[in-house]
Chains A and B, each alone.
Chain A
Amino acid sequence: MSKPNVIFQIVRRGGSLFSLIKKLWQHPKGRVGLILVSLLVLTAVLAPVLAPYDPYDVTQRAAKGLRPSLQHPLGTSITTGQDILSMLIYGSRVSLMIGVSTGIAIAFLGALMGVMAGYIGGFADSLIMRVVDVLLVIPTLPLIIVLTNLLGRSYFVIILVFVAFGWTGLARVIRSMVLVLKNSNYVKAAELAGASRWYIMTKHILPGTSHLIIMNTTLTCAGIMVAEAGLSFLGLGDPTAISWGKMLAEAQGGGALLFGAWWWILAPGAGIFLAVFSFMRIGIVMEEVFNPRMKASSGIYKLFKHLNNRYLDEVFRSMDDEGDPVTSEGSDTPPPPLSGGGHD
């Protein structure tokens, strides 16, 4: 089975991507998230059209430290007189690009590792879980700082490092899910019918985890956006691009706090907040849609507070300790596929 087919399977399971979006749209919170995310995407794509000034163009810079006015809706910076609104609009490109591409890459790597660990088991499982254990104890932010220092401060490297250390959480979730699916009747039937391991993995196991993968991806995107903002704030992002974290760092370094230029701090902060918030909203609503039992609950969003979601450790520990992952789910049935158990 080729790769596009796998993606197709993930999205298609029990309904199309369209029906997923429709479900999100029908949910009041999900609608807010969808609107915000589409606005964000539009802003990022149309940045050169929307931005009143070109933030990279040094010849257009206005008077320094202007308060918000009609000419400059969010004012200008104190140090260089750059238009804040234009910077804000251009900054959305970085956040979105890094967040989404890292999220998708993590989805692939995490799903692959999780399925391998869960389905193949044995040596592959213990190897992957040892790697996860090691990655969990190494402090993430310092390690990312060291690696960007060594490999260069381009966005490619930053994404690479985020992916290399961000997949552990998803792999653990998927692994436990696969352990449940592995013992289900339809997988056993496929095995008896002589299906190959690869076939079962891509055709039966992976689609069964698709809802988890999609949900986790939106939450990972949100988490990565916060992490990227932090990295840029420390001056460790790509030095050539305008990003929200870098704007905040420039604002602090340029004396925005001292001279009371609140617009210079609030704008990028609001940008980060809205972007992360909308992605998280979608993730949380997805959780409710996919798993109505867990409605209004569960703090799954807490998982992505850190790159490695540590809360899951507790979940896993309790699952492993109780010996049977199924019982801790409180149900014998595998979780509903994408279309099942919709939110009413």
Chain B
Amino acid sequence: MKRSYVIKRILYAIFIFFIVLTLNFFIPRIGVRDPAERYYPPQGAMSEIEYEIIQQFTREQYGFDVSTFQQYLRYLRGLARFDLGTSLRPGSPKVTELIGQRLPWTLVLSVSTLLISLVIGLLFGTLAAWRRGRWQDTMLLNASTISVALPAFFIALMLSFYLGFKLELFPAYTNPNMVAQFDWSWEAITVVFNNAALPIMSMTLGGIVGYSQTTRNSVIAVTNEDFVITAHAKGLSHRTVLYKHILRNAMLPLATSIGMSISGLIGGAIIIERVFNWQGMGTLFLEANSTNDYPLMMGIMLFLSAFAILANLVTELFYVILDPRVTVGDRR
């Protein structure tokens, strides 16, 4: 029963991925019949032959030189070899190569944000649930409203202004040589985290509140379960009940939200990376956007979607394995 469920989930994830990659192929083709006409209209005194050559070249560059169906097959064949296509940048680097260069830098931000906000969020959330209705709880409620209403990029600007320019505690702007000079030495790592401090701070503020809220709600939900009442009735200490019975079970919804937020963090770092000019995937995406580099943009999109699908699948399976109460069915 369980195995068939696992197989079903995996097949469903593959199905979703197939739809996403098909969409990914067709989205840049919305309204673009011929990239040559769209991006290189005839200009000035250009002879017909010259224009013909430019058109031909542009079509080849964008991969529009064959029929749409053949383009799709070509795209699928490329994907089967983990090839996301070629960027339109000078030197025609591979999209996977560019992503590979920038991904670690985004991961520095997102993984540290995730870890910091998870730890602090767990503490605050448990506290708020434990002191339900008291001032700790009310504070969390107000903090949630405020953290949604204050966009992360505004927090980032303020941090950059006060901690960066006024107090000069951290670099207000990422050191442009940081990436080139990185050599795994202790100093280089310190430089990276020094530069990453402000971006991470501006992203964790929202994350902390989010995880606190999830933790609080799931702890309260578990506190009302029968087995917790039983544990209390057996005379176990509050501490034992909290750690062994409540927190362990309250982790499950949290695990789900972690899985989903990882992909969200990588994609959501776009604006923060722009504020600090952090050379991650977000700035790569914006660079691609400003140069109409569709292969690169769609490559990043596909990568993020695949990541999200994988994360969802893993958390789903995780859920089934960990929570005995989950009835195995295939609705949803």
Interfacial residues, chain A to chain B (CB-CB below 8 A): 129-130, 133-134, 136-143, 145-147, 149-151, 222-223, 226, 229-230, 233-234, 248, 251-252, 256-258, 260, 262, 265, 269, 272-273, 276-277, 280-281, 284, 296-299, 301-302, 304-306, 310-311, 313-314, 316-318, 320-323
Contacts and interface: CB of A to CB of B under 8 A. Distances in A.
A322 B206 contact: no
A233 B301 CA distance: 21
Interface string B267-309: 1101100110000000001100100100001101100110011
A234 B289 CA distance: 11
Contacts of A262: 161
A265 B166 CA distance: 14
B151 A150 contact: no
B23 A138 contact: yes
B136 interface: no
B304 A248 contact: no
Contact of B157 (A129, A252, A281, A299): A252
B119 interface: no
A252 B275 contact: yes
A280 B27 contact: no
Interface in B30-63: 30-32
A257 B30 CA distance: 40
A28 to B, nearest CB: 14
Contacts of A304: 148
A151 B332 CA distance: 33
B301 A143 contact: yes
B148 A141 contact: no
Given A141-B267, A150-B32, A234 B274 contact: yes
Interface core residue of A142, A143, A146 (most chain B CB under 10 Å) = A142
Interface in B159-218: 160-161, 164-166, 172, 206, 210, 213-214, 216-217
Contacts of B331: 320
Given A305-B148, A311-B257, 10 more contacts: A129-B332, A139-B304, A142-B300, A147-B30, A151-B31, A248-B157, A262-B161, A265-B157, A277-B145, A296-B141
Contacts of A230: 151, 153, 271
Nearest to A266: B158
B149 interface: yes
A299 B217 contact: yes
Nearest to A319: B332
B28 interface: yes
B27 A146 contact: yes
A306 B210 CA distance: 11
A149 B292 contact: yes
A180 to B, nearest CB: 15
Closest 7 CB pairs of A and B: A139-B267, A276-B149, A299-B213, A277-B149, A137-B308, A139-B304, A269-B154
B79 interface: no
Interface in B219-259: 220, 253, 256-257
A295 B160 CA distance: 38
A339 B19 CA distance: 44
Given A137-B305, A316-B332, A146 B289 contact: yes
Contacts of B16: 130, 133-134, 137
Interface residues of B, number: 70
B8 to A, nearest CB: 14
A272 B271 CA distance: 16
Contacts of A316: 332
B146 interface: yes
25 contacts: A129-B332, A134-B19, A138-B305, A139-B263, A141-B271, A145-B270, A145-B289, A146-B28, A150-B28, A226-B151, A233-B153, A234-B274, A248-B153, A257-B172, A260-B165, A265-B154, A273-B150, A284-B145, A297-B220, A301-B145, A305-B210, A310-B257, A313-B256, A321-B326, A321-B327
B158 A314 contact: no
Interface string B80-99: 00000000000000000000
Contact of B149 (A141, A147, A272): A272
A249 B315 CA distance: 37
A314 B253 contact: yes
Given A222-B149, A323-B327, A257 B165 contact: yes
A233 B272 CA distance: 11
A220 to B, nearest CB: 12
A298 B158 contact: no
Given A280-B149, A313-B256, A258 B308 contact: no
B308 to A, nearest CB: 4
Contact of B216 (A260, A299, A305, A313): A299
A151 B30 CA distance: 8
A234 B273 CA distance: 11
A142 B257 CA distance: 21
A258 B19 CA distance: 47
A116 B325 CA distance: 30
Nearest to B30: A150
B148 A226 contact: yes
Contacts of B160: 257
Contacts of B154: 248, 265, 269, 272-273
Contacts of B301: 138-139, 142-143, 146
Contacts of A150: 27-28, 30-32
B217 A298 contact: yes
B157 A322 contact: no
Contacts of B268: 141, 306
Contact of A311 (B20, B137, B214, B216): B214
Given A139-B305, A299-B144, A302-B210, A234 B270 contact: yes
